[in-house]
Structure 1
Amino acid sequence: MADYGLPDVPFHAGPLLTGHDAYEGMSLSERKRLLGLFVIMTRRLPITYRTFVHRKSDFDDNRQRFEAQLKRDIVNLLLAHLSDFHSYGTVKVYYDGGQQIVTDALRGGIEYALSKDAIVYRDASPRDYRLEQVADFLCTLELTCEKFRNGEQTETDNKFFGDWKSFRVNYLKPIRRKRLES
């Protein structure tokens, strides 16, 4: 980032897009350049990812049904790739504890599908872990995809990603090559 004359700030998609927090006072072009560098870094990382998209409104504010669905999604993914997870001596789970329902579903699903002796949980702060920043970015892209599909994209989405075709070609398609199918 220093080579490009940009500040070295932890990536956080929401504030980057809206110009808040560490990005306050940065121009739109600087924030777009930061996003572009993060896209390049993410494309080069040897990672796979999977996101799950649910609308809370589909669960009629029933927290238990929503948590059960998230847990089921996690269990199904882990069981589909169980041999991959068993090839590791330890599976480390980094989560910032941002949403209790996600914390509960993660713990429940992971502990159901994997040996409790092979799991280590760690608190994660985006400032401390670049991969947490990557996870935030991937979730933002998948959420933006849903917004475009449903005609709910914002003016900010359009400023940063362009129209649906531009978003799909320049952001979603290259990143989805890393997507882990269930």
Structure 2
Amino acid sequence: KMLRAVQIPKIITRLQKNLDYCIQITMKESQVSILIMFLCSVLIVVWSSAGWNALRLEENAYDSIYWAFTTLTTVGYGDLTPVNYRETLYALFVGAIGATFSAAIIANVTSFFHDVEISEDNTDHKLNCVVYFMERQNSSAENIKTIEDYFEYIEREQEGINEELLLNKAVPDHIKANILIHITHTMVTN
């Protein structure tokens, strides 16, 4: 338990670094998302006021905004449909733009979570780096499989953490000796 208390400042420092990194990513992604939402809003207003109303004079502005929104979000309920060739082409164009914007927003959100998952401490990331390196060095498939099995073992048995390595790196020698004596005490006394 004393070992855990000694590690608290180091853990807090590591968490602070990870938090700072997450905040930086969030700020970048937020700026892009806000810009995309602003552009979507402008496009909805422009398309609803200029395009749809020009093609259907009997429709009102609310129907136009509703149509533009359902088309841009690729929902397209079907209650407001194009009647002639020009309206159909216009609806196809707006639908394609809407699908692109929807995909961009989903990609940004996915990218945010993917960036957070990839770190030097992530076992999957380490495995990918090692396998990529081995493939570049033309290593045999058997060696790559052995490495993958080892990382799978680490993830399954040790939950991605090598306690011995952590102990060797993070704890001073005099404390390390006491911990090792404690760990092996029952084995030595029996």
More strand by share: 1
TM-score by length of 1: 0.21
**Structure with more helix by fraction:** 2
Larger relative contact order (Cα-Cα within 8 Å, sequence gap ≥ 6): 1
- Tell which structure's C-alpha radius of gyration is larger: 2
